[in-house]
Amino acid sequence: TQLLEQSPQFLSIQEGENLTVYCNSSSVFSSLQWYRQEPGEGPVLLVTVVTGGEVKKLKRLTFQFGDARKDSSLHITAAQPGDTGLYLCAGAILMSNTGKLIFGQGTTLQVKP
Amino acid sequence: DSGVTQTPKHLITATGQRVTLRCSPRSGDLSVYWYQQSLDQGLQFLIQYYNGEERAKGNILERFSAQQFPDLHSELNLSSLELGDSALYFCASSIGQGTYEQYFGPGTRLTVT
C-alpha cells in the first residue's frame, strides 16, 4: 500500500514567520502535486513537480521534489493570514497509466495576524 | 472557480437510502475522478472514468457505483447508506487518462442520519 505522510499535521504561526511542510513516502512517485483547500471548498492545485530534485516557486511558496522522487516539501516565506488553509500533497503512482492520486492526510496551517 | 460543477451542494438522507451525486467536468476534460473526504480518512480516491470507460478503482465500496455518460458528465450512486458514509464527496477532472493535474469541484456534503 502506497502511503504519503505529511508533517506536521497542524501548524499555528504568527504572520511573517517562515514554515516548511513535509511529505514523505517509501514509494517512488512519477509526479507530486500540492493542493490547498479552504473549509467547505474543493482542493485547488498549486503546483506539480515531476523531476527528481526539481524546485518550483510560486510567489512566497517554494516546492521541492526529492532526488529519489519519494518526498517533497513546501516552504512558505513570511506567511500571511491569507495562507491559512489545509495543504495537501498528492502522489501519482509510478508507471500507472491512470490519474489515480494518493493523498497525504494534510497539514492545517493557521497564520495569525 | 475550477470549472467543475457538482450537484447537489448538500444532501441529508436516512440510513438505508440511495442517493445520486452529479458532476460536470471542465470543458475539454475527458477524465472524471471521484473522491471521498472524511475527517478520519482524509481524501480517498474512489474511481476514475476516462471518456466513458472505467480506468482506475480505489477503495470504493460495492454499495457505491459510478458511470460517465456520452456528454462526459458523471454520476456517483451510493446505496444502502450507512452513518459512516457521511462525508464530503468531490469530483475532479483532467484532460487525459494519465494526467495528474486535476481540478476539483466544490463538493457535495452528504449527511446520513
Q: pLDDT digit string (tens) for B92-102?
A: 999 987 777 89
Identify the pLDDT of residue A43: 95
- DSSP category for residue B83: G
Who among B42, B48, B103 is closest to A98 (CB)? B48
Choose, out of A5, A45, A108, the residue to mutate when testing the contact with B (most B CBs < 10 Å): A45
Who among B4, B42, B94 is closest to A103 (CB)? B42
Residue A65, C-alpha cell as written in the block: 521534489
Identify the pLDDT of residue B89: 97
* pLDDT 10s digits, B24-78: 999 999 999 999 999 877 899 999 999 999 999 988 999 999 999 999 999 999 9
Tell me whether residues A33 and B48 touch, CB distance under 8 A. no
* pLDDT 10s digits, B1-14: 889 999 999 999 99
Chain-centre distance for alpha carbon A14: 20
d(CA A97, CA B41): 25
Tell me whether residues B45 and A101 touch, CB distance under 8 A. yes
Q: Which residue has the higher pLDDT, B100 or A106?
A: A106
Distance from CA of A58 to the nearest CA of B (A): 16
d(CA A45, CA A27): 22
Q: How far is CA B58 from CA A2, A24, A71, A101, B21, in A?
A: 12, 21, 22, 10, 18
d(CA B65, CA B20): 10
